[in-house]
Structure 1
Amino acid sequence: MPITPLHLGIGSCCKAIGQQRFSMMIFAGTQFLMDIEPLLGLIYGWQYLHLYTHNLMGATLIGSIALLIGKPISQWLLRSILNDRNWSISWRTAAISAYIGSFSHIFLDAFMHHDVYWFYPWILKNPLLGLIPYSVIFYSCICAILIGGFAWFYLCKSKNES
């Protein structure tokens, strides 16, 4: 199923660790962009759902697009929500968030989908396929969302109290 929230587990943990040096909004936007190809593939009945975006070149391209459009969109949204015109996301933070988003996406999907070829179009093999059962990946991502989320809230709370 494309556009699954399970990939957000990695982002949640990165946000807890990186705090202001990681943008969860850009990371989540990258996850959405990564899954446009599989969504279209399901709609149109394509044989391969992860061919062009779920490889190293595709992830680099999607990460770059997410970086360029994600920074201004996220910055505008957060300035509006926080009502602080000086609030900003650095290009470094945006790049880290976008590229962690795109590369972690193909890493996780490689364990589950036969058509994730990291070195497409040169090598059409997926050495990670089936190494970890889907249920382990599913529950690990759920746990990562919870652990990362609680850690982030705890660290924010303790930072505000000091």
Structure 2
Amino acid sequence: MPFTPFHMGLGLAAKAAAGNRLGLVSFGLAQVLMDVEPGVRMLMNDGHLHGWSHTLLGALGIGALATWWSRWLTGLLVGRWNAETGHYGLRWLGVPGALSYRVLGAGAFLGTLSHVGLDSLMHADMKPLAPFSDANPLLGLVAHDSVYSAMVLCGVAGGLCWLIRQRFSGPRGE
């Protein structure tokens, strides 16, 4: 998938389902960190875009890093979000800023592991089980366009469900 936007569809759906048990900022940061390696490889005209960062082991390491960094990033973004929603009289859209590492980790690790899974469905250069195996058992199980469509639907449905949850139950999650 071309970087983060499509992957965030799953994050929005998961956030709507899990509420304050999942950090959406940590999920998003994990997506960006996962795609640093392919981005650098694109700039270098490397034909093999998905390397170590797109393995299960790489995803675990990046998930840990995203969990740690997202504590600071969540505070920064949520503070700004709450100031803006308050300024415009939309306090019901406000969210708590102090999240536990468990909540941040849930978002980060769901982000990295789902990233490997989704990309494994579509990219022939993926080796998600490396260094133990060069196999990609998920490749081609779902049509490329179907994965994109599913992520867009997840994003729209998840975003709408989150808004409804916020409106009728008040601030509960990141």
Q: TM-score, normalised by structure 2?
A: 0.85
Deviates more, 1:31-40 or 1:115-124: 115-124
Deviations 1:91-143 (A, max 9, x none): 11001000000000000000001122122122111111111111111111110
Q: Is the 8 A contact 2:74 2:97 kept in 1?
A: no
In structure 2, what is the equivalent of residue 142 of structure 1?
Answer: 152
After superposition, where does 1:141-160 map in structure 2 within 5 Å? 141-160=151-170
In structure 2, what is the equivalent of residue 34 of structure 1?
Answer: 34
Give % identity. 30
Distance change >3 Å, CA 33–CA 156, structure 1 → 2: same
* Cα offset, 1:146, TM superposition: 0.5
The yes-or-no answer on 1:111 pairing with 2:127 is no
In structure 1, what is the equivalent of residue 91 of structure 2?
Answer: none
Residues of 2 paired with 1:4 and 1:99: CA distance?
A: 15
* Cα offset, 1:3, TM superposition: 1.6
Q: TM-score, normalised by structure 1?
A: 0.91
* Cα offset, 1:80, TM superposition: 4.0
* Cα offset, 1:77, TM superposition: 2.6
Distance change >3 Å, CA 138–CA 2, structure 1 → 2: closer
Q: Which runs of 5+ in 1 are unaligned?
A: none
Q: Is the 8 A contact 1:37 1:50 kept in 2?
A: yes
Which secondary structure does the structure 2 equivalent of 1:115 belong to? coil
Residues of 2 paired with 1:11 and 1:77: CA distance?
A: 17
Q: Is the 8 A contact 1:55 1:118 kept in 2?
A: yes
In structure 2, what is the equivalent of residue 82 of structure 1?
Answer: 82
Deviations 1:17-47 (A, max 9, x none): 1112212111111100000111111110113
Letter aligned with residue 128 of structure 1: L
In structure 2, what is the equivalent of residue 46 of structure 1?
Answer: 46
Q: Is the 8 A contact 1:2 1:38 kept in 2?
A: no
Deviations 1:55-109 (A, max 9, x none): 111000110110111112212331344259x830111100100000000000000
Q: Is the 8 A contact 1:14 1:148 kept in 2?
A: yes
The yes-or-no answer on 1:69 pairing with 2:69 is yes
In structure 1, what is the equivalent of residue 103 of structure 2?
Answer: 93
Root-mean-square deviation over aligned CA pairs: 1.6
In structure 2, what is the equivalent of residue 121 of structure 1?
Answer: 131
Q: Which runs of 5+ in 2 are unaligned?
A: 84-93
Residues of 2 paired with 1:112 and 1:81: CA distance?
A: 35
Runs of 4+ aligned residues of structure 1 deviating over 6 Å after TM superposition are none
Which secondary structure does the structure 1 equivalent of 2:110 belong to? helix
Residues of 2 paired with 1:90 and 1:76: CA distance?
A: 15
- Aligned residue pairs: how many? 159
